[in-house]
Amino acid sequence: MKRDSLRERRVVVTGIGLVSPLAVGTDATWQALLRGESGIAALTRFDVSRYSTRIGGEVKGFDPLAFIDRKEVRKMDLFTRFAMAAAELAVADSGLDRADLQSDRAGTYVGSGIGGMGSIEENHRILLEKGPDRVSPFFLIQAIINEASGQISIRYGTKGPNCANATACSTGTHAIGDSFRMIARGDADLMIAGGSEAPLTPLGLAGFTAIKAISERNDEPARASRPFDAKRDGFVMGEGAGVLILEELGRALRRGARVYAEVVGYGMTSDAHHVAAPAPDGDGAARVMLRAIEDAGLRPEDVQYINAHGTSTPFNDKTETLAIKNVFGEHAARLAVNSTKSMTGHLLGAAGGLEAGITALALFHQAMPPTINYEFPDPDCDLDYVPNAARKAEIVHGLSNSFGFGGTNGALVLKRFERP
């Protein structure tokens, strides 16, 4: 049911900060997506010779000192550093100044699926090798998930809501959707929202290889992530962050902000099926898309574009396609459905933030990045996946999907903004 009370305050995207395996920077990431580039390569950060998977989407050329004071860097896990960088990029992109942010009407909501896994591993090694008195005094603030949001709040002086969530691969979508709700109902006027993840650690990679979830196409890393393709063999782990600036529309217009898109709908559901696998009938995915569409006051046929969860796993891509067909009916054949994970890999808790940002950019530029590596059609995946080349198109409404372990689902509907 449409929640009319939430239509009184409109919410728009005025800043986008992307740190991805393609680039550190929003425009650089966007241009690489349009060119159909892959950010997947052999892993370099630790010895992977004993792993069955030796590829991933590392953020390349990332210098935390470009965004964070040297004395503060050592207090932060890599996932927090990514979040800080993405927030800095988003704030700069939005044109906001410190006075705009230093308010109890401004807040932060940045989550992570895993948090400081690298710091946990390193301090556990120190504990075993050198004893408890050698564990870092910064260990706990490096490890816990809400420190990314907290550090951003401290940096900018936001004194409104300060939240973090951990809903697996739906984290970024839920953070943005919850922030949309906060602004719509009047709890805040401005939110810095998204997700961050740094899972490419020895234990993180071992965990995902153990459950046989990730691609082993080690000899062709750039071709390993191939959503909806018949020869897909699992997702490719990635890292990075996606952070958006959400503002109440009137506030954004008064300061002359550039508006990328309007957030108009949000849905959350649970599969209630399995800890790691999607429901085979796509029920939870279908219901979350429908909830987001109904929340926006739309019909399914009003949507032109879907940035799919599209992980490149045999189960997800098949069930997501089925769910799209169940929601959109005959209109499904007219939709453009892409998976930018074909280029970035799967950023887990950061995926929803990154992909909401990409969806907003698609609406702003009226262009859709491709799904690369689509070579062998799968009869169970028979929609228009924008194969292998970017496409200009008229997009009024875009849908961004995220589905996570534990059966947690999130979807956002964004609308092309037309200035009144």
Residue 204 lies in a domain: yes
240 lies in the same domain as 286: no
How far the first Cα of the chain sits from its last, in Å, is: 27
| 97/239 same-domain check | yes
Which residues of the chain register pLDDT less than 50?
Answer: 1-6
In a domain, 52, yes or no: yes
- Residues marked as catalytic: 169, 309, 346
pLDDT at 8: 78
Give the E-state strand segments of 112-259 in sequence order.
162-163, 190-197, 240-248
Residues 249 and 269 in one domain: no
Residues 226 and 371 in one domain: no
Do residues 298 and 203 both lie within one domain? no
At 226-261, the pLDDT tens digits run: 999 999 999 999 999 999 999 999 999 999 999 999
Judgement on whether residues 204 and 55 belong to the same structural domain of the protein: yes
85 shares a domain with 208: yes
The answer to whether 111 and 166 have CB atoms below 8 angstroms apart is yes
Tell me phi and psi for residue 322, to 5 degrees. -60, -45
- 73-112 pLDDT, tens digit per residue, is 999 999 999 999 999 999 999 999 999 999 999 999 999 9
- Cα–Cα distance for residue pair 113/194, rounded to 1 Å: 12
Torsion 170-148-176-260 (CA) sign: negative
Give the residue numbers spanning the domain of 315: 265-415
Nearest to 372 by CA among 338, 332, 324: 338
Examine the domain organization and report whether 234 and 289 are in the same domain: no
Residues 269 and 249 in one domain: no
The domain spanning residue 212 has which CATH number? Answer: 3.40.47.10
Integer Cα distance of 251 and 384 in angstroms: 38
Structural domain total, the chain:
2
Closest CA to 325 of 259, 269, 384, 262: 384
331 and 206 share a domain? no
